Amino acid sequence: LSLSQAEIKSLRALTTKKGRRATGQFLAEGVRVLEQALQHDFLPGRLYVSASTVSERGTALAEQFKRRGVPVIPASGSDLARVGDTVTPPGLLGVFQSPPDELAELYGRGPRSMVLCDSIADPGNLGTLIRSAAAFDFDLVVLAGQCAEAFAPKVVRASAGASFAVPIAVAPLAEVLTLIERERVHLVAADPRGEDLPDAIANDADGGVALALGSEAHGLSPALLQRADARVRVRHEARVESLNAAIAGSILMKEWYDVRQRRTP
């Protein structure tokens, strides 16, 4: 059951940005996260399972992956603990091929509803926003500027596997702005000085739409704010200075989702 030192070393390399870049692979662990992968037909190249630590639900999941043709490799709990970065290793570790992240390719022939993350560097916030984007029916997440990596372990964990549920593009801000111009995307910018959302987007856009979210520390890039067709805020009491960035972004997504649902005949 012991993995070779070389195998552990190559798995550990995937916990670093450098290792993920070099190989085009990433890791995901845990039952809930991997269940999402299966649900969205995002199959790992191989799956390590520690029979001594995995739960019954995890064993059943490994069985399903096996039936789908995924090589399942037995491993000891301590070997997996040396690779993963969770306090209590769940005994299930998948090695995945990074999916395409080209903006033009993922936008395709549009129109798309996008969440545009502008330099959201906090992995927890980014993962949570990806989860909310999938929940509230956005069909593309775009990472511009200095965002955390879509498939960094903390982001995948914070997304609870939603990283497998929605396509994620990575592009420089200039490229995003070019696409917005070319495709006439209706750009809605989150901005504390904006309007309440239902009013701000009362006029529906026929083409693609994008909700742009900035980081808590720096807000949105001026180029996005200037280009925006509308600026929206989450109204709240002055008792706090601001909301958490993932909270504010998710509330805007939900409010937009409600607007779109009301319009659907």
Q: Which residue lies nearer to its own copies by CB, 6 or 217?
A: 217
> Which of residues 17, 21, 32, 182 is near its own copies by CB under 8 A?
32
Instruction: Please state, as a whole number, how many other Cβ atoms lie within 10 Å of the Cβ of residue 199.
Output: 10
> Which of residues 75, 225, 246, 256 is near its own copies by CB under 8 A?
246
Q: Which residue lies nearer to its own copies by CB, 91 or 123?
A: 123
> Which of residues 3, 27, 36, 213 is near its own copies by CB under 8 A?
36
What is the pattern of x (binds its own copies, CB under 8 A) and - over residues 218-237?
A: ----------------x-xx
Query: Min. distance of Cβ 38 from its own copies in angstroms?
Result: 12
Q: Which residue lies nearer to its own copies by CB, 48 or 151?
A: 151
Segment near its own copies (CB under 8 A), from 88-96, 107-115, 179-187, 239-247?
Answer: 239-247
124 lines the binding site for its own copies (CB under 8 A): yes
103 lines the binding site for its own copies (CB under 8 A): no
User: Residue 39: what residue type?
Assistant: Q
Segment near its own copies (CB under 8 A), from 42-50, 58-66, 97-105, 160-168?
Answer: 160-168
Query: Min. distance of Cβ 255 from its own copies in angstroms?
Result: 8
